[in-house]
Amino acid sequence: MKSDPLYQMSCPIARSLGRIGDSWSMLILRDMFAGLTRFDELQKSSNIAPNILTRRLKDLVEDGLLERVAYCEKPLRYEYHLTQMGRDFRPVILSLLQWGNNWLAPEGRSIQLVERSSGRVVELELTDKQTGRAITATEYASVPGPAADEAVRYRHEYVQQKRAGVAGKFVPPSIYRDPS
């Protein structure tokens, strides 16, 4: 189920969470990347209720991450395939995998990423595609883009002032806008 307020915000993180931020959708995408494509496979893998799975698959298709493809004509049956938009979500799933292994798996890794040819365990690192340098908080920052709205610009300016030690109270623009 989409979270409409998040889905409509200008922040790309909020929009992403509004589109696919619920846990069932994430697990469906996890299973899709593993190679499961059919309703029964997805349902059994996650133990998700069929009505919830039906809704999530419908939303993921409507949102452009999955497409329905007929695999049997009599009776008519469908499986789901990742679209390019869906395939582009893979780094997010892999990042969650690594973060979960690093911070939430005291018993050890239950799933790990390996190089197919050698079986070598791989650790992810986010890099700048142009330079190949690791993305670190000390060298890279998020800043408002050309389409940033007033709330995004305010939040960024507030953080800059806070780092400089001159920030006042955080008052998002929507609180003090004139409603007329």
117-147 tens-digit pLDDT: 999 999 999 999 999 999 999 999 999 999 9
Distance, in Å, from the CA atom of 14 to the CA atom of 172, rounded to the nearest integer, reads: 16
Ordered by start, the domain boundaries in the chain are: 4-87, 89-140, 143-180
State residue 178's pLDDT score. 47
Distance, in Å, from the CA atom of 123 to the CA atom of 131, rounded to the nearest integer, reads: 19
Distance, in Å, from the CA atom of 98 to the CA atom of 96, rounded to the nearest integer, reads: 5
- Which residues touch 135 (CB under 8 Å, ≥6 apart)? 126, 127, 128
93-115 pLDDT, tens digit per residue, is 999 999 999 999 999 999 999 99
- Structurally, at CATH architecture level, domain 4-87 sits in Orthogonal Bundle (1.10)
State residue 174's pLDDT score. 66
Q: How confident is the model at residue 3 (pLDDT cuts 50, 70, 90)?
A: low
Q: To the nearest whole number, what is the mean pLDDT of the chain? A: 90
State residue 66's pLDDT score. 98
Q: How confident is the model at residue 11 (pLDDT cuts 50, 70, 90)?
A: confident
Whether the predicted pLDDT of 175 surpasses 60: no
Instruction: Tell me the mean pLDDT in the region 10-16.
Output: 86
pLDDT over 90 for what percent of the chain?
A: 72
* Poorest-pLDDT segment among 8-22, 42-56, 76-90, 166-180: 166-180
